[in-house]
Structure 1
Amino acid sequence: MNSCLIYIGELYFAISQGKPLKDPTKIAYVEYSGSTLNQQGDVAACLRTPQMNFVEQQLYFPGVTFFQGMCLKDVCSAKALTSIKKEYAELLSLAFKTTITPEQFDFVQYPVEKPSTDNYGFIIISLILAFLLLLTLASFFMTAFKSKSKISNKISQEQYDSNAQSHLINKNQILINKKNEEERLYEKLQDNLEDKRILNQTEKNQEIESKSTLKRIINCWNLKQNLQKTFDVTVRNSDLTAFDCIRTLSFMQVVLGHCFLINLSYYSNFNDFDIVQKEPFTLFILGCFYSVDVFFMLGGFFLAYVVADPKVSQNFQVKNFLKMLLSYFLAVVNRLSRILPTYFIAIYIIWQYLSQIGQSPTWSQVELFSGVCDEDKWKKILFIDNLYDQPINCVVWTWYLSNDMQMFVFSLILMVIYANNKIIGKIFIYVALGVFIGLAIHYAYEYEILIVSQLSAMLNPHWNDFYFKPWCRIPPYLLGLLFGVFYKEYQIEKQQDNSSKKSSLLMKISHYMRETFVKWISYSLGLAIILYLIFGPRPLQMNGIDYWNQNVQHFIYGISRILYSFGIILVLLPSVCGSKDLIVKTMSSSIFQFASKLTFQGYLYHYAILTYSLWTFYDSMYLDIQNIFSLYVSQVPIILLISFIFYVLIELPLNNTANIIFSRNIKKKQIEKEEINKQNHQGIN
């Protein structure tokens, strides 16, 4: 008979009968194993004990996995236990007093072997990161050489000028009686000095003009310049600085919501969960998931803000059809160039590196977390993973980017219509907004999604069919699109002659916003909508899902996301209309302008950081609001630090490169060139 089965049988019988244990290996099991689910016991002491090994037991129940560490005699390795799963299932059934099947549990040996690095994915991301590091070093040495060359040239020029002056003095002393000849020599020498200065300036201008694209691209990785850009919080439009506050706070909300959900995977106080669920602050945590809709709204706003500009919209005129198609294509490619490279790198880092940099009894969860990208990564990179019926697994939180890209492509069509006819364009946006709001309400009814909390909605079997689908999530994006169109029209009208008739919607609203009372109504109403959507379900939380009519819940859930976005717009409205009150000044703080730059990298990596942190713990967490918030406060600085590193070393250099490729700075360079030529002309005259 299997020696492991005999050992397990004797161990279970002795413990169930309460008999004293004399075998040191059985005593070690009692002392060093986890005493209940989601407990590991003393892993280090177990591994120090002769003849013992540590095995992680994983139990699968609907919607949740439980873990328990077992310190067993070395004949009972994970492989040996797997060979007796049928018999072991009978023992588990006796222990849990319910039927446990062999499919409901597994064993993992600890410590486990690291995943292999001998694969194309690991090699690809390693080469990419090595290449980016090489560019950073090349930029450093190129800048250092250029600075040294400038210093050398400056010293040479000073020596030349000094020698020239000395030469003039000597000439004056030697040829003091030859005044006319001395004056001619002096004038000639001065002319030579001026010619030399003009020649140097001309060579400098030629150097600027002939600077190669390769050098400009390498200079995109200039660490000093990128650090200066990162900390530079100069703004072009002070009316929009409050958006950085909203972006930053929404990102912080996303992190808080994910911190709570991730830690639900490994906590110890199962019996207290109903108590935790009914805490008021739990509603705030679950309400954090509305923050994604704020990102959608902001995406639509800035798309309209850019395309509705007359200088840009003229590229989308249908009268020049080929130019319109090319402009549309380039706009999509430009958008991809801002997102895809850093997104690609993030996926590959999480896929290949995350599982290599830690160890714990539950580390197999990290390997599973990163390993699901083996098959699904191409769906992510093509921004189509949210369109499949299967659940999203590979870097699951980035479903937002797929939706955002799909919404961008669709909304850009609406903006092309607007560029050709403003009235018809607005009508199309209104119609699209109404249609997709109707679809969201329809699917909320069809899938019977309730609003008691986001957590209960996630347990709905049709969660994937609603939450991840662009046709259910696009209304906030279209609302932002309308907001951006109105703001651009308002901005254009402000720049026109004051005698012209003021007719844009925001221009009319801005007149009312001059009254303090109206501004406070906007702030208060926006905040009231936001708080109601978060804390309004409190009666349902306390009294159960049947406390409100379920049809009413379906309807509210269907419109809740666009309502939340509308509340955010009301909060932003005074700032957009030019108010400089205390709230606007606070929201326009430079700390938000700096932090908002890190939000994209933070969004890409925060979930992986939280997951890594969870599964490196040897003991499960006692789940309550205080512990969740304490963990959140400790992890946010780490997330921001890693975001800062990736922003400076990867995102910003790649964006600099995209600017060169798409020639967004041609006009700026042309102005600089004209200014240099103007200075040269003045110098010659």
Structure 2
Amino acid sequence: MEKAIKALHDQRVHLPSLIIRLLGLLAHAMGNRRTVILFLFVCLYGVSIAEEATTLPPFPKTTSLVDYPEETVWGFIKSFNHENVSKQCGTSIDRVIPYLSDKATLKEQRAFFYQSFTTGDASQLISRDQDRWIFRAFECIKSAGETSYSASEYPMHYCYGMNEENEGTVYGVCFPSTCADNKQELLEHWQNVTATGNETLTYEGCVRSRHVSQWYEQFVPMLDFGFDMFLFLLIGLATVLHFKRGDKTKHKPTQILLAFSLKKNLAKLTQMPKDPQSTITCMFGLRFMSLVWTLLGHSFIFVQAYLKNVNDYKDDLVDNFWNQWITNFTLSVDVFLTLSGCLTAFSWFKKWQKNTTEEEPSWNSWGYWLRFYRHRLVRLWPAYIYTIVTLTTRISVTHFHPMWPPTDPAVQCPKHWWKNILFINSLGENRCMPWTWYIGTEFIFYVVSPIFLLTLRRNPTVGLLISVITILASGFANVVGMWWYNFPPTQFLWKQPEMFNPDYIKHHLLIYIKPQYRIGPYIVGLLLGYYLAGYQAQTQKKARSKRFVIVGWTVATIAGFWSLYGLYPSLMAWDCPIYHYFYGGAHRTVFSLALCWLIYACHTGIGGFINTVLSHRFLLPLSTLSYSCYLFHMIPVVFTYLLAPFPMVFSTKAVMFIHCVIQLALSYFFGFITTMVAELPALNIERILLTSSPPKKPAQSKADVEVQVQLKAAEDASSVPVSPIPRS
């Protein structure tokens, strides 16, 4: 049987290699080395699937955490052998039952203590069962009676242990913090009491009910706080100088100081473009709405760790057809990808269609492409680095107790921050600020975008063909990944039907965040940006018939509705595998196409009231702040629930929506600070220090210029931009 499985696996591994060879020969026949490289890049989708597994994956059983009665826990405490632990630990263990049985101790504390003891499936520790493990840890912390303003006389530790190599059972225990050095003995004793296994516990993780010292008593958090105060002082000085003397100066140091001016940067947040056609104004509303959608989805996920009746909440959310706008919220990322691709192509093609002086870039224009990437780095890095530093060194230790270790930025970011800075976090385990996988993935798309931009500019037919092949290859890779791992069409973050692999963290790491599976909507956006730039360059635009407009809106509405609500058969575990595969491979691209119609309609004058709303000037600053808000939004999501009474009891979703409003307001508050101290000043400094005159085209005679103008006019009059005249 094992040989048969291995043979089957070997066949799967070699199939992508065969496809690569065939397509490589096809591309070579086309006589274009760059096309060969692109085809090989596309075909790496298949190889990535094969290389991500060396054996057929064992699917975890659908189990949950085990509850133990109070008597079992008290038996564990009473039977613990004090000989192998410190005297202080032994004394503290003896005091647990008297402390929890004392009249001055709340009944809830006693219940929290014994209810926190559990065992579970180790393979689901940071996946399906993660919210229940966090809930048990909070129960232990609450049993200590800690508050933000008063330390408990009986601080607690919650620890879990398991065997890393042979994932079987994970054990969770609550005990006095004085026994932290003896956690191995306590976990092994709990293992013996529960009699659920005899494997050696090689890994332990703990969370304590209170930090050893609070953030304002630690050097590093206070250093970060002092740096923030310095930046605020810098902004204040720059703003006063701007009001007193204006911003007209040739003195470089003064210009750099004025880059932090609040007056200058607030104007950038609120200033509408002089020419509405120079940008795609409906994206103001789309970007803001996508951020709200993302925050709401994350909020509805993370609340599970604080709910007592979490199963009632999951049933209410998943079983209702109309709740799919929440359960399928991950499509909000595809909105961001589509907008990013569209803006990249729109601005690039618009520039070169208007250009008559600068030398147009080619494959070998290294200086131009380095500036192309440099500007993107300046756009992303300052706010990103500021957020990572602030979150890791100060915000993550602001609360009186630490977070759950597998997801605690104070634990994970010191080890993995460099992957975020290099934008490769989505290629690995994505441990530091895991919601920022999108930024890494989108940056990788930006890195490869010149392949599509130049190909579309030089030969639109070939460019379109390559784009479509890449989109189809990405969709096919999703289908193969679903089949290989038995994954659902997208992440199921609330309830996981038994017909699918319930390990949504594995799904997240192997497929959901990987660039090769997510590039489809980005390329759809690139194609839209290319088309809109060409359409805008036309001097005489074709009138769209009423029938065309009605059909377009109808098809886009149906496509968008299916993409959003077509997940229901998978949520309900209907036995229709072909549909699951098709939906998983196509729904994100179809949703992107529906969104592209909306953008096209709004930008070309047939958007009507929808365009009026999405392009409202009130949405401009909210849109501009969206990047920094996205970086920070998970902090309010976690902290508002952390500060709420524990445990929460679900009765209506209205409570979550109220939390979302507060979380959104706090996200924009933090996002505004990040934009003012890091994002906009960095862009201003780039213009001051790094802006240089681009290379000019060779001088032309007056006759040559007139010919170029005539050719440009002919190109603008056509519906599809033609290829430029080859230069000698």
1:573 alignment partner AA: Y
Residue identity matched to 1:470 = P
Of 404, 429, 433, the match for 2:467: 429
Q: Could you tell me whether the CA contact under 8 Å between 2:160 and 2:187 is conserved in 1?
A: no
Shift of residue 652, structure 1, vs aligned partner: 1.8
Which of residues 348, 351, 357 in structure 2 aligns to 1:307? 348
Identity %: 19
Match of 2:613 among 561, 586, 592: 586
Does residue 260 (structure 1) correspond to residue 307 (structure 2)? The answer is no
Question: Within 5 Å, which residues of 2 pair with 1:131-142?
Answer: 132-142=231-241
Cα displacement string for residues 509-540 of structure 1 (whole angstroms, at most 9, x for unaligned residues): xx22x52x543443343233222222223344
Unaligned runs of 5+ in 2: 1-80, 117-134, 695-728
Asked whether the equivalents of residues 256 and 632 of structure 1 are also in contact (C-alpha less than 8 Å), the reply is: yes
SS for the counterpart of 1:620 is coil
Shift of 1:424: 3.5
Q: How far apart, in 2, do the equivalents of 1:664 and 1:578 lie?
A: 36
Would the aligned equivalents of 1:220 and 1:653 in 2 still touch at CA under 8 Å?
A: yes
Give the direction of change, closer, same or farther, for the CA distance of 1:614–1:26 in structure 2 (3 Å limit): same
How far the C-alpha of 1:102 sits from its partner, in A, is 6.2
Matched, 1:409 2:434: no
Query: Are the equivalent residues in 1 in contact too, given 2:207–2:403 (CA < 8 A)?
Result: no
One-letter amino acid matched to 2:271: D
* Correspondent of 1:468 among 513, 518, 527: 513
d(CA) in 1 for partners of 2:585, 2:168: 25
Q: C-alpha separation between the residues in 2 aligned to 1:224 and 1:467?
A: 41
Aligned partners of 1:107 and 1:438: how far apart in 2?
42
Matched, 1:657 2:697: no
Closer/same/farther in 2, CA of residues 533 and 59 from structure 1, 3 Å limit: farther
CA positional deviation for 1:254: 0.6
Identify the match of residue 444 of structure 1 among 476, 482, 485.
Answer: 482
| Residue type of the alignment partner of 2:503 | L
Please state how far the C-alpha of 1:483 moved relative to its aligned partner: 0.5
Q: Distance in 1 between matches of 2:313 and 2:532?
A: 46
Cα 1:344/1:296, change in 2 over 3 Å: same
How many angstroms apart in 2 are the aligned matches of 1:541 and 1:295? 25
> Residues 151 and 210 of structure 2 are in contact (CA less than 8 Å); yes or no, is this contact kept in structure 1?
no
1:646 to 674, 695, 702: 674
Q: How many residue pairs are counted as aligned between the two chains?
A: 570
| Cα distance in 2 between the residues matched to 1:406 and 1:22 | 56
1:608 corresponds to which of 617, 624, 635: 635
- Is the partner of 1:57 in helix, strand or coil? strand
| 1:55 partnered with 2:156 | yes
Displacement of 1:434 after TM fit? 3.3
1:219-298 to structure 2, matched below 5 A, reads 219-234=258-273, 236-237=275-276, 240-276=280-316, 277-298=318-339
Task: Kindly indicate whether residue 622 of structure 2 is the aligned counterpart of residue 568 of structure 1.
Answer: no
Instruction: Give how far 1:473 is off.
Output: 0.5
Separation in structure 2 between the aligned mates of residue 550 and residue 146 of structure 1, nearest angstrom: 69
* Deviations 1:71-116, CA, capped at 9 Å, x for gaps: x7x9x6545666433334444x28xx99999679766443222488
Letter in 1 for 2:341: G
Are residue 86 (structure 1) and residue 188 (structure 2) matched?
yes
Give the letter aligned to residue 625 of structure 1: K
Q: Distance in 1 between matches of 2:435 and 2:590?
A: 23
Is the CA contact (8 Å cut-off) linking 2:293 and 2:332 kept in structure 1?
Answer: yes
Counterpart residue number, 2:660: 632
Say which structure is richer in helix.
1
- Identify the residue that residue 78 of structure 2 maps to in structure 1: none
Query: Residues 33-112 of structure 1 correspond to what in structure 2 (within 5 A)?
Result: 33-35=110-112, 36-37=115-116, 38=135, 39=139, 41=142, 43-44=144-145, 52-58=153-159, 77-79=179-181, 83-91=185-193, 93=194, 108-112=207-211
Which residue matches 1:143? 242
**Structure-2 change in CA distance of 1:272 and 1:6 (3 Å):** farther
* Cα pair 1:659 1:665 within 8 Å, conserved: no
Is the Cα contact below 8 Å between 1:344 and 1:381 reproduced in 2? Answer: yes
Query: Aligned equivalents of 2:222 and 2:337: distance in 1?
Result: 35
Paired residue for 1:348? Answer: 389
Instruction: Give TM-score, length-normalised by structure 1.
Output: 0.72
Quote the residue 1:339 is aligned against.
380
- Summarize the Cα distance change of 1:124–1:562 in structure 2 as closer, same or farther, 3 Å threshold: farther
The alpha carbon displacement at 1:564 in A equals 1.0
Evaluate the alpha carbon distance shift between residue 118 and residue 57 of structure 1 in structure 2; reply closer, same or farther with a 3 A threshold: closer
Report if the CA contact (8 A) 1:245-1:587 is conserved. yes
What is aligned with 1:160? none
Kindly provide the amino acid, as one letter, of the partner of residue 142 in structure 1: L
Q: Determine whether 1:530 maps to 2:632.
A: no
Q: Say if 1:299 and 1:109 are closer, same or farther in 2 by CA, change over 3 A.
A: closer
Structure 1 residues not aligned, in runs of 5+? 13-20, 148-206, 499-506, 667-685
User: Following the alignment from structure 2 to structure 1, what is the Cα–Cα distance between the partners of residues 674 and 198?
Assistant: 49
Q: For residues 545-579 of structure 1, what are the alpha-carbon distances to aligned partners after superposition, in whole Å with 9 as ceiling and x for unaligned?
A: 2x232133122101111111111112223212223
The one-letter code sitting in structure 2 at the alignment partner of 1:289 is: T
Q: 1:658 to 1:330 in 2, by over 3 A?
A: same
The residue that corresponds to 1:478 in the other structure is 523
Seen in structure 2, the aligned counterparts of structure 1 residues 432 and 317 have a Cα distance that, compared at 3 Å, is: farther
CA distance in 2, matches of 1:432, 1:332: 22
1:590 is paired with a residue whose SS is coil
Task: Classify the secondary structure of the residue corresponding to 1:608.
Answer: helix
CA displacement at 1:648 relative to structure 2: 2.7
Report how far residue 489 of structure 1 moved.
Answer: 0.5
Tell which deviates more after alignment, 607-616 or 465-474.
Answer: 607-616
Distance 1:123 1:377, change over 3 A: farther
